Amino acid sequence: MTCSTEEFRQALSQLLAVCKEYQAKALAQTTVLKAMLELAPSDRAAWNLEKVQQAIATTKLGIEPAIDLEAAALEQALANDTDFRLLLRSFVSSAKAKRDF
CB 71 within 8 A of CB 91: yes
Residue 100 has pLDDT above 70, yes or no: no
Instruction: Give the chain's mean pLDDT.
Output: 91
Angle at 96 between CA 50 and CA 58, to 5 degrees: 25
Q: In this predicted model, which residue has the larger pLDDT, 81 or 9?
A: 9
Domain map (residue ranges) of the chain: 11-99
Q: What are 50-90's pLDDT values in tens digits? A: 999 999 999 999 999 999 999 999 999 999 989 999 999 99
Residue 96 has pLDDT above 70, yes or no: yes
Q: In this predicted model, which residue has the larger pLDDT, 74 or 95?
A: 74
